[in-house]
Amino acid sequence: MVVVGLKNCSKCEALKEQLTKDGTSFDYREFKDLPLIAQRKISKRFRDDTGGIAFPVVIEDESEYKL
């Protein structure tokens, strides 16, 4: 599992803390550090009501996004 977020994102930090408490193994990656193809796929698939990307994004299948 990969959690994608932004620097200084309170929701991202809260999710990371919760997953750590639960003992769930995950990798955390910042959106800006991802390959461009992954950024494009995430920006198309994970939009909220306002049109922005709904961070944090949880990705189960890393290979689909070439992470």
Tens digit of each residue's pLDDT (9 = 90 or more) over 14-42? 999 999 999 999 999 999 999 999 999 99
Distance from C-alpha of 54 to C-alpha of 11, rounded to nearest angstrom = 10
- Give me the half-sphere count of Cα atoms (radius 13 Å) on the Cβ side of residue 65: 25
- Number of folded domains that form the chain: 1
Indicate whether this model's pTM tops 0.75: yes
Judge whether 44 and 67 are in contact, CB under 8 Å: no
Domain that holds residue 32: 2-65
